[in-house]
Structure 1
Amino acid sequence: MAVAHILRQKGAAVITVRPADSVQSIVDTLARHRIGAVVVVDEAGAIAGIVSERDVVRAMAGDLAGVASRTAGDIMTTKVVTCTPADSEADLMQMMTESRIRHLPVVANGRLAGMVSIGDVVKLRIETMEAEADQMKSYIASAG
């Protein structure tokens, strides 16, 4: 339920682009929204891929001058790892670690329902640890 908790706190808004959008417009979108990835959706709103900062850098290798005019469809990662609102903190950490990714689109009932980043997971982990420490302090104080 960690994903559901994260989405309640940060909201479910997801910045999306279309496969035909230029890399230049995607870079502008990433910078404007101060985010590290966008979900690429088709005309029906289904996930077609994801473009992260890492995808942009890889596309720049060997073609720095021409990359800005390429499209999301040209550079996107098409094997998108997703999570669900029911996934736990441990599930998120495992998926991100095994896949070496920092962004997970959230899918609920077959539809894009949010985005979770590694920063969201770290924030949740810190909140959990602080709550556990507070509980331990209360327990110790009441036992004395």
Structure 2
Amino acid sequence: MSIPVKAILEQKGRDVVTVGPETTLNEAAATLNKYRIGAVVVVGKDSKIVGIFTERDVVTAIAKHGTAALEQSVSSLMTPEVFRCREETTVNELMGVMTERRFRHVPVENHGKLVGIISIGDVVKQRIREVELETEQIIAYIAG
């Protein structure tokens, strides 16, 4: 049985590091480094998601534009089409989408409001917990 994303957020917390669209690549990279994360959600007015900016976007921007990219805004470099999930989305569903579409970070929305972010690491940790629990249950059944 796969648990909903909401359960992961309740365990790890709902904090999401965000930046505005006018943030420069240099500032966004410093934010990624400061928080030791792989992505920031780009939010516009009313805290609505307008994009996601990842480590991969940093590499792509520097490869295309060289050091001049450091002063460009994330709005010109980010991934504007952001896949989102809901709190009710199951870990198995999310794992399938993340694997198929090669995402490592997925913002979580509730009624159009950003309420968290799930990384592939969060999904893997949860799957490991589920497998360990299943193993314990099988051992208890066999021993009982």
TM-score, normalization by structure 2:
0.96
Give the Cα separation in 2 of the matches to 1:120 and 1:65.
33
Give the Cα separation in 2 of the matches to 1:62 and 1:7.
36
| 1:76 is the counterpart of 2:78 | yes
Give the Cα separation in 1 of the matches to 2:64 and 2:113.
36
1:51 corresponds in structure 2 to 53
Give the Cα separation in 2 of the matches to 1:108 and 1:88.
14
Residue correspondences, number:
142
1:101 corresponds in structure 2 to 103
Q: Which runs of 5+ in 2 are unaligned?
A: none
Give the Cα separation in 2 of the matches to 1:62 and 1:79.
20
Residue type of the alignment partner of 1:106:
V
SS of residue in 1 equivalent to 2:86: coil
Give 1:98 shift.
2.1
Residue type of the alignment partner of 1:79:
E
Alignment of 1:9-48 (within 5 A): 9-48=11-50
Q: 1:129 aligns with which of 131, 134, 142?
A: 131
Q: Which runs of 5+ in 1 are unaligned?
A: none
4+ runs of 1 displaced by more than 4 Å? none
Give the Cα separation in 2 of the matches to 1:95 and 1:46.
22
TM-score, normalization by structure 1:
0.96
- CA displacement 1:18-37 (0-9 Å, x = unmatched): 00001111000000101000
Give the Cα separation in 1 of the matches to 2:8 and 2:92.
14
Give the Cα separation in 2 of the matches to 1:64 and 1:135.
54
2:89 corresponds in structure 1 to 87
| 1:139 is the counterpart of 2:141 | yes
SS of residue in 1 equivalent to 2:41: strand
Give 1:90 shift.
1.5
Give the Cα separation in 1 of the matches to 2:113 and 2:61.
28
- CA displacement 1:26-58 (0-9 Å, x = unmatched): 000000101000000002110000001001111
Residue type of the alignment partner of 1:96:
M
Q: 1:65 aligns with which of 64, 67, 71?
A: 67
Root-mean-square deviation over aligned CA pairs: 0.8
